[in-house]
Every structure is written in C-alpha cells, then in structure tokens.
A and B are shown apart, each in its own frame.
Chain A
C-alpha cells in the first residue's frame, strides 16, 4: 500500500528564514509520481511540482527547491528566504504506476511565516 508521511504538522518561522518541509513516502511500485501542493487560507490547492520516480535530479524554482532521494524515500521541499505569502498548508502526495488518477496525500504541514 502507498503512504505519504509528513512528520511535521506545523512550523512557524520569521520572514527571511529558510525552512524545509519533510516528506517520506512508501510504495512497492518502481514507477510513481511525487507532488507538492500549496493550500493558502483561500482554500485552493496550488500545484507546485511533479517528479517521476526515474528522475532524481533536484529542482530549483526561484526560492523553492526540492530534494528527491530514492535511497531514503524522501521528497523534501525547501523554501529559501521565506515570505509572509508563503504561509499556507503544504501537502506532499504520491501516485503509483505513473498515473495520477489517485493521489495519496500526506496529512499536510501548516507553515506560518511571521513578519
């Protein structure tokens, strides 16, 4: 069975601090996709990144970066120089067999960035 664990439930930082959100997954498949979504207080889930299981290259997009390590089944997300607008709940998710028909979400991690 597939499972996504976000061990941190809530983090509070001060603006400009760097923060890393942890995600550990379990799957028996060799083909799978990993995702990160952001859910601001408005409620809409915003897609941030998709990574397939065959691509372990880390990715950087502006202040966001992702570290995918198959050896530890982790897909961690780092926000550099955090801003108040980064305050949201962040979900890590997994789908198996290369299809996203069913996303298995972690429980989410609430990030609060204080000015």
Chain B
C-alpha cells in the first residue's frame, strides 16, 4: 500500500501559470520534505516541515512556497513557473529528524 502519495504524477503548466503539487502520507510522520530533482542530478532539498514548523533552504527561490494544513498533507506551490523549474518534484517523510526518509513516486513537472 502506498505510504507517500503524490498527485498528479505528471503535471504540465504554462510559463508563469501558478501550479500546486500535492503530497499525502499515511505514516503519520512528523517531518515532510520537498525535493527538486533535475535530470541526471541528485535530489535537492527545497524545504521541510517539522510538524508545523517550516524550514526553508537558503537557496530555495521565493517562487516556491509550501503549505502543510495537517499532518497528512503537504503542498508545493510554484507561483510563476519558469522553464528552469521543469523537474521531478519528490515528497518525502520521516518519523523525526533522526530517522530515514521515505519518498513518494514524484511529480514530473513540464513547463511549456
């Protein structure tokens, strides 16, 4: 059974048109993460939530925002997608900040 679910798996958006990616988890984990992964590169952490505490990476563009309305759900909002934002976006969860992270299948974003 899927534990970290991401919808949609594939998303196409237009240049400059806001888009939201969603992630949900059935693990009841405290921490949720969003990563960006471009082709043939390692995942890059954008931000994470520890419960309701939001932690932004210093080099994450302002164009990227996140919301976590409850334990199970976390959203990634891209306010004005550029062509350079086309990538795989991976959501992950962990029980706490000492535990291993479990990843969802990712959402592949295309910007036209």
Contact = CB atoms under 8 A, between A and B. Distances in A.
A43 B48 contact: no
Interface in A31-64: 33, 35, 37, 42-47, 50
Interface string B7-51: 000000000000000000000000100000000111101001010
B97 A100 contact: yes
Number of chain A interface residues as a range:
20 to 34
Contacts of B104: 44
B100 interface: yes
Contacts of A103: 43, 45, 101
Interface stretch (A20-28, A67-75, A79-87, A104-112): A104-112
Given A44-B105, A45-B103, A46-B103, A98 B43 contact: no
From B43, B92, B94, residue with most partner A Cβ within 10 Å: B43
B41 A107 contact: yes
A107 B99 contact: no
B55 interface: yes
Closest 6 CB pairs of A and B: A105-B42, A45-B103, A99-B97, A44-B105, A101-B97, A43-B106
Interface of B: 31, 40-43, 45, 48, 50, 55, 57, 88, 90, 92, 94, 97-106, 108
Given A35-B100, A106-B42, 5 more contacts: A45-B43, A47-B102, A99-B97, A101-B31, A105-B43
7 contacts: A37-B103, A43-B106, A45-B103, A47-B100, A100-B99, A102-B45, A103-B101
Interface of A: 33, 35, 37, 42-47, 50, 91, 98-103, 105-108
